[in-house]
Structure 1
Amino acid sequence: MKCYVVDAFTDTVFKGNPAAVCVLDEWLPADLMQEIAKENNLSETAFTVRNGEDYDLRWFTPGGEIDLCGHATLATAYVLLRFFEPNRDVVSFYTLSGVLTVERKGDLYEMDMPAYKLKRVPVTAEMEEAIGFRPLEAWMGRDLVCVLENEDQVIQAAPDKEKVGNLDGVLLQLTAKGKDYDCVTRSFAPKLGVWEDPVCGSGHCHVIPLWAEKMHKTDFHAFQASQRTGELYCRMEKDRVLIAGKAALYSVAEIFLPEKL
């Protein structure tokens, strides 16, 4: 089975967020896909199977299956539209988060993703202790979103892994208004076996609706301030977030599956 590794939200290898992509003829057992994700040891491994004109898509972190992953969706669309269906520019995926459509627009891949509904929650001492800075605001969707005072705090934050793991929410998203970008974000996922996610598409399905409400605008040039960095071009459309980014192919490998599955 071929396994592609694609750096998403960048046009340069060694930046953005790497995702492994496995294109299957039929589904493997879930425990085997989980083991492959552990072996790859990337924040996400995507598995996709053709379904009529479209595809089914699932995402596995080293710690378990997840309901939504932006960068691995972008990476999967890149692989399919480059290597399997180069004459197409649009591909749709059936996922745990509904139908996700990706459209190739030049060197950008634009994903149509659901916006998470956020509920404001109290800022707590536990949040401050976990992050190292006291958030101005805290919001809860799938993830805990903490709004910090400025982008310098987002960049300088050195969260405590154990304390972050004790906070509510699947991931912790730290975000602030940017200087050169509309917003700057970092994403942490110790509960999923990933400490810092290099670029988090589903995280921007949290932070973009939040900043759209605060800034009264719909178009955003967003920056992920991880060590690898990444750029996202985002747009709000009602209850959807359109997230576009570039992609760079790092490797194509062959996985030797066990003879008895």
Structure 2
Amino acid sequence: MKLKIYQIDAFADKVFSGNPAAVCPLEYWLSDDILQNIARENNMAATAFYVKQRNYYEIRWFTPTVELNLCGHGTLAAAYVLFNYENHNKNSIEFNSFKSGSLIATKIEELIVLNFPAINVKEIEMSEQIISGFDIKPKFAYKSESEYLLVFANEEEIKRVRPVFETISQLEGRGVIITAVGNEVDFVSRFFAPQININEDLATGSIHTLLIPYWAKYLGKNSLTAKQLSSRKGHFYCKYLNESVEIGGQGKLYLEGNIFLS
């Protein structure tokens, strides 16, 4: 069996930036074991698989070790492949995730804009476990169902903070987002997820479902720009729509090829 594979740098303004994701178009769903093995072999933060249905595309995302409930950069990468290489001739795509429902991707000039459900966070106590996870103390701590959101004083602290991964890995949930007001953009962030074997993710679309509502309310504006301050940097164009958020970014093709399965 021969499968197509693409490697896309998502939320990237050039190759070697943003977050790389593999994309595998499928004619039908393969077994979970095969999908997981492909993702493990790819050894990237996410491999996106999709199957075309009549009016939409079913989509799933895998890390090298687990299946994800939602993956922003994997969705953007899949949309980029469809818009540019797999003959999708409309300006919007409806994806349907078995775990996250309907997800819409729209092409607006060079940007691909994802519409995802907005997620609100609740303020929590600044526990000793949270404080000991970093060498700089956050100002505020919040929690969604899956992630911690820690607010720091400024962009410089986000850049130079040192996470203690052993401590962070013991926090319940998918990972920890740290964030602050940006110097040249509205807000900056980093994301640490040793719980799912990703010490620091490079450019994470899904965390912006929390970040956009928080910063829109804090800054009093619904259109925002953002940067993820990983080693490769991720660039985001954001909009708060109350019940949902728009997360925009570019994709860049790095690799196109084939997978051979015996």
What is the TM-score normalised by the length of structure 1? Answer: 0.96
Structure 2 portions without partners, runs of 5+: none
* Counterpart amino acid of residue 193 in structure 2: A
**SS of 1:202's equivalent?**
coil
* Counterpart amino acid of residue 257 in structure 2: A
Matched, 1:242 2:246: yes
Aligned length: 258
Aligned positions of 1:87-166 closer than 5 A: 87-95=89-97, 96-141=99-144, 142-166=146-170
Alignment partners' CA distance in 1, 2:188 and 2:16: 20
**Structure 1 partner of 2:236:** 232
CA contact (8 A) 1:63 1:191 kept: no
**Structure 2 partner of 1:221:** 225
Deviation at 1:86? 4.4
* Counterpart amino acid of residue 134 in structure 2: I
Deviation at 1:201? 0.4
Aligned positions of 1:62-101 closer than 5 A: 62-95=64-97, 96-101=99-104
For residue 212 of structure 1, the aligned residue among 213, 216, 232 is 216
Matched, 1:170 2:178: no
Cα RMSD after superposing both structures: 1.0
CA contact (8 A) 2:120 2:214 kept: no
**Structure 1 partner of 2:9:** 7
CA contact (8 A) 1:62 1:194 kept: no
Moved more, 154-163 or 232-241: 154-163
**SS of 2:132's equivalent?**
helix
Deviation at 1:118? 1.1
Deviation at 1:127? 1.2
**SS of 1:27's equivalent?**
coil
Q: Percent identity?
A: 38
For residue 195 of structure 2, the aligned residue among 191, 203, 220 is 191
**Structure 2 partner of 1:22:** 24
CA contact (8 A) 2:213 2:242 kept: no
Alignment partners' CA distance in 2, 1:66 and 1:49: 17
**SS of 1:159's equivalent?**
coil
What is the TM-score normalised by the length of structure 2? Answer: 0.96
Listed one character per residue, the Cα deviations across residues 174-206 of structure 1 (whole Å, up to 9, x for unaligned) are: 100111110000011111121111001001111
CA contact (8 A) 2:13 2:235 kept: no
**SS of 1:130's equivalent?**
coil
CA contact (8 A) 1:97 1:114 kept: no
CA contact (8 A) 2:138 2:152 kept: yes
* Counterpart amino acid of residue 231 in structure 2: Q
Alignment partners' CA distance in 2, 1:11 and 1:249: 11
CA contact (8 A) 2:45 2:64 kept: yes
Alignment partners' CA distance in 2, 1:178 and 1:11: 18
Deviation at 1:84? 1.5
For residue 61 of structure 2, the aligned residue among 59, 62, 81 is 59
Alignment partners' CA distance in 2, 1:121 and 1:252: 45
**SS of 2:231's equivalent?**
coil
Deviation at 1:63? 2.4
CA contact (8 A) 2:173 2:195 kept: no
